[in-house]
Amino acid sequence: MKQASIYSSLFRLVLLLSFFSLNNASAENQVNLSDISMKNAKIFNGKLITGGQPSAEDLAKLKAMGVNNVINLRTEGEFNQFDESEQTKLLGLNYTSLEISGATGITFENANKLDKILSSHQGMTLIHCASSNRVGALIALRAYGVQHKSLKEAIADGQKAGLKSLKEKVVKLINQREQ
């Protein structure tokens, strides 16, 4: 009898832990990017969404999904369809501009700046550029330089965040740092 009671208690405990595990896993899945027009929109992790330029409507939808912060990697004058800084303020979002000028802006210094900004944010953050390529490049350099991931892991993180044509530049920077 006692053994059956112990197994029954263990079974209940496993079910309860499974329920909490599924509940926590689904928190990330509550963000549904299918209604977002933003190019290459991806959930990088439970606290970070990456992508290209969001529309004003996208920003409102992201706010409704729980995004609190926006980091814009585009340079001044690169986008002029609406004032993103003003739009985010109207929505009650925190806005940070970290201007990354193409491949020349892909540096470990800028990856460290991005890390400091991300570390200061509470809640979910959207980080974007025009296509998510610069986002992915800085995420990869951050993964390698700050989070001490391997080259392979850093590139995988970068690609998950949108790294494409800047991959060669990122690999070169990491290889130079290793020497």
| Burial status of residue 101 (CB atoms within 10 A of its CB: 0-12, 13-18, 19 or more) | middle
> Mean pLDDT across the stretch 82-102?
96
Percent of the chain whose predicted confidence (pLDDT) is above 90: 79
Chain-centroid distance, C-alpha 151: 19
Distance (Å) of CA 48 to CA 8, 38, 93, 151, 164: 40, 15, 14, 21, 19
User: Average pLDDT, whole number, for the chain?
Assistant: 87
- pLDDT value of residue 18: 38
> Mean pLDDT across the stretch 44-59?
96
- pLDDT value of residue 30: 64
125 forms beta bridges with: 48, 69
- The pTM score is 0.82
- pLDDT value of residue 3: 52
- pLDDT value of residue 179: 77
- What topology does CATH give the domain 33-178? Protein-Tyrosine Phosphatase; Chain A (3.90.190)
- Domain locations in the chain as residue ranges: 1-30, 33-178
| Long-range contact pairs involving 115-122 (C-beta distance under 8 Å, separation at least 24) | 115/142, 115/146, 117/71, 118/48, 118/71, 121/68, 121/69, 121/94, 122/68, 122/69
Q: Which has the higher per-residue pLDDT, 24 or 48?
A: 48
- pLDDT value of residue 2: 54
Kindly tell me if the per-residue pLDDT of 157 is higher than 50: yes
Kindly tell me if the per-residue pLDDT of 86 is higher than 80: yes
